[in-house]
């Protein structure tokens, strides 16, 4: 049997003059996402999209489509001929399926008769289909105001029958708001920041900093695994891996130890900015959050921000940790993030961290190392990994 996913989108439809551009990109993203599914095809109906597929791929298609940015909700519909008897029997079957799934006991029927050529009017269809279902299921009641099941019949060139609405992530189509360079650590926050910014349509590319051999290969593996999870939403992701050990050593030798964290952070920002320019990204993205750690005070953020000219997006700035964790679990990155592999920042971690740094003083310290040359070397030795739909490409 063939089923159909009915895809609803919200904000994209509000984009005024540019609406068609956003819609086209959205449809293209859906097409790319289901391309590998045998026989699946996407129908673009201005304001709605449909994914037609074979029911044997049910769960896979649902999983894919509910992770496409821009999707507000979907319904799984069954397509039948415009035959009134079929509407009754298939409507009944669908209500029974829902009762089994959810234990619901109340329902109503809704009809959308877009095809005015169909001879029976909507209220009559609702009444007759509803009556037929009622007389065939024990313990079921009609509730027109607050039903647990709403059986919808959409009559077009064919009739679509559906009950459930499954929520999608919402947001804007991926790739409609330029590209950004994400600073991806192995922690909980940065993958969540990536998700939130990607959801606004910004295409992502990532940079990870490590201090190999002080940090292990497992730390890199962890970041690649996080990247794989992100590609559930972004499809592809490029991760640049940059060794900053020489920079950290130079800071360690030449600068006050309590400034280590902030100085490394500034170097990370500078390297990320250079890569961003190279890769045609228009912003940097971090998982920074006000007050979460010693380096993320107002003054600390000023000092890191001041290292670059490019706009820095910090979507988590005002999130509580519990809310960040909730999203991390939802996007399935949490379990990976909490694996205990060393992040580069912990290698030369000082006993004390300045919490109210002054920009001038930090820049003076920074000038004690040969920054430009160290940065150029680090970038030259970067390694780039490409992940596509959960697989690392060689």
* Position among 159, 185, 248, 297 found at the interface with Mg ion (CB under 5 A): 185
Query: 165: which DSSP letter?
Result: -
Binding to Mg ion by residue 304, rule CB under 5 A? no
Conformation bin of residue 300: beta by default, left when phi > 0, alpha when psi is -120 to 50: alpha
Cβ proximity to ligand ATP: between 125 and 268 the closer is: 268
Number of residue whose CB is nearest ligand ATP: 187
Of ligand ATP, Mg ion, none, which one sits near residue 276, judging by CB under 5 to 8 A according to partner kind?
Answer: none
**192-221: contacts with ligand ATP (CB under 6 A):** 208-209
Contact segment (CB under 6 A) with ligand ATP among 17-25, 51-59, 101-109, 180-188 equals: 180-188
Binding to Mg ion by residue 300, rule CB under 5 A? no
* Position among 168, 180, 187, 191 found at the interface with Mg ion (CB under 5 A): 187
Cβ proximity to Mg ion: between 25 and 229 the closer is: 229
Contact segment (CB under 5 A) with Mg ion among 56-64, 179-187, 233-241, 322-330 equals: 179-187
SS3 107: strand
Q: Are 79 and 181 in contact (CB under 8 A)?
A: no
Closest separation in Å from C-beta 161 to Mg ion: 49
Binding to ligand ATP by residue 184, rule CB under 6 A? yes
Cβ proximity to Mg ion: between 64 and 301 the closer is: 301
Contact segment (CB under 5 A) with Mg ion among 53-61, 86-94, 184-192, 230-238 equals: 184-192
Binding to Mg ion by residue 287, rule CB under 5 A? no
Contact segment (CB under 5 A) with Mg ion among 19-27, 54-62, 177-185, 273-281 equals: 177-185
Closest separation in Å from C-beta 376 to Mg ion: 25
Packing angle between helix 58-65 and helix 19-34, nearest 10 degrees? 150
| Core vs surface per residue 37-52: b (16+ CB within 10 A) or e | beebebeeeeeebbbb
Binding to Mg ion by residue 286, rule CB under 5 A? no
Binding to Mg ion by residue 180, rule CB under 5 A? no
User: E strands along the chain, which residues?
Assistant: 2-9, 41-44, 49-54, 71-80, 106-113, 141-142, 149-155, 159-162, 166-167, 179-183, 203-210, 236-243, 283-285, 312-313, 383-388, 391-393
Separation of alpha carbons 194 and 181, rounded Å: 9
Label residue 246 exposed, middle or buried (CB < 10 Å: 0-12, 13-18, 19+).
middle
Binding to ligand ATP by residue 77, rule CB under 6 A? no
Size of the residue set binding Mg ion (CB under 5 A): 2
Of ligand ATP, Mg ion, none, which one sits near residue 31, judging by CB under 5 to 8 A according to partner kind?
Answer: none
- Phi and psi angles of residue 279, each rounded to the nearest 5 degrees, phi first: -95, 15
Contact segment (CB under 6 A) with ligand ATP among 53-61, 73-81, 286-294, 364-372 equals: 286-294
SS3 87: helix
Contact segment (CB under 6 A) with ligand ATP among 33-41, 125-133, 231-239, 281-289 equals: 281-289
Cβ proximity to Mg ion: between 25 and 270 the closer is: 270
**Residues facing 59 on adjacent strands:** none
β pairing state of 203-210 and 236-243: parallel
Which H/E stretch holds residue 37? none
SS3 215: coil
Ordered DSSP codes for 355-389: SS--HHHHHHHHTTS-HHHHHHHHHHT-EEEEEET
In Å, how far are 17, 161, 222, 274 from 148, measured between CA atoms? 39, 16, 43, 54
Q: Which tokens sit at 61? A: 């298609």
- Phi and psi angles of residue 54, each rounded to the nearest 5 degrees, phi first: -85, 135
Size of the residue set binding ligand ATP (CB under 6 A): 20
Task: Spell out, one character per residue from 304 to 343, where the chain touches ligand ATP: x when CB under 6 A holds, - when not.
Answer: ---------------------------------------x
Of ligand ATP, Mg ion, none, which one sits near residue 273, judging by CB under 5 to 8 A according to partner kind?
Answer: none
Binding to Mg ion by residue 215, rule CB under 5 A? no
Could you list the residues that contact Mg ion (CB under 5 A)?
Answer: 185, 187
Could you list the residues that contact ligand ATP (CB under 6 A)?
Answer: 183-185, 187-190, 208-209, 268, 286-288, 292-293, 295-296, 343-345
């Amino acid at each position: 049997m063939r089923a159909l996913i009915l895809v609803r989108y919200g904000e994209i439809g509000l984009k005024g003059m540019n609406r068609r551009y956003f819609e086209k990109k959205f449809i293209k993203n859906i097409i790319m996402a289901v391309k590998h599914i045998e026989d699946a095809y996407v129908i673009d109906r201005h304001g709605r999209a449909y994914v037609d597929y074979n029911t044997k791929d049910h769960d896979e298609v649902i999983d894919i489509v509910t992770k496409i940015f821009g999707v507000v909700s979907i319904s799984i519909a069954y397509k039948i001929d415009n035959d009134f008897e079929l509407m009754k029997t298939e409507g009944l079957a669908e209500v029974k399926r829902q009762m089994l799934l959810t234990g619901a006991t109340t329902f109503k029927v809704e009809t959308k008769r877009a095809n005015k050529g169909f001879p029976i009017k909507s209220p009559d269809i609702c009444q007759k289909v509803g009556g037929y279902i009622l007389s065939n299921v024990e313990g079921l009641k009609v509730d027109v105001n607050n039903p647990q099941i709403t059986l919808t019949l959409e009559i077009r060139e064919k009739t679509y029958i559906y009950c459930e609405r499954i929520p999608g992530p919402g947001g804007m189509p991926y790739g409609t708001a330029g590209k950004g360079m994400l600073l991806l650590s192995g922690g909980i926050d940065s993958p969540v920041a990536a998700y939130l910014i990607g959801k606004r349509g910004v295409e992502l590319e990532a940079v990870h900093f490590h201090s190999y051999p002080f940090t292990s290969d497992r730390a890199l593996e962890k970041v690649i695994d996080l990247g794989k999870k992100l590609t559930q939403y972004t499809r592809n992701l490029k991760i640049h891996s940059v060794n900053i050990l020489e920079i950290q050593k130079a800071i360690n030798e030449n600068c006050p130890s309590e400034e280590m964290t902030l100085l490394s952070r500034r170097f990370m920002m500078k390297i990320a900015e250079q890569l961003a320019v190279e890769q045609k990204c228009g912003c940097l993205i971090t998982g920074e959050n006000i007050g979460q750690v010693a380096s993320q005070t107002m003054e600390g953020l000023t000092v890191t921000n001041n290292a670059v000219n490019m706009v820095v997006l910090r979507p988590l700035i005002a999130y509580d940790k519990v809310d960040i964790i909730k999203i991390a679990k939802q996007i399935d990155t949490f379990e990976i993030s909490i694996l205990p592999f060393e992040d580069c920042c912990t290698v030369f971690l000082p006993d004390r961290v300045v919490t109210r740094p002054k920009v001038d003083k930090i820049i003076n310290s920074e000038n004690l190392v040969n920054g430009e040359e160290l940065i150029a070397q680090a970038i030259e030795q970067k390694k780039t990994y490409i992940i596509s739909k959960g697989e690392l490409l060689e």
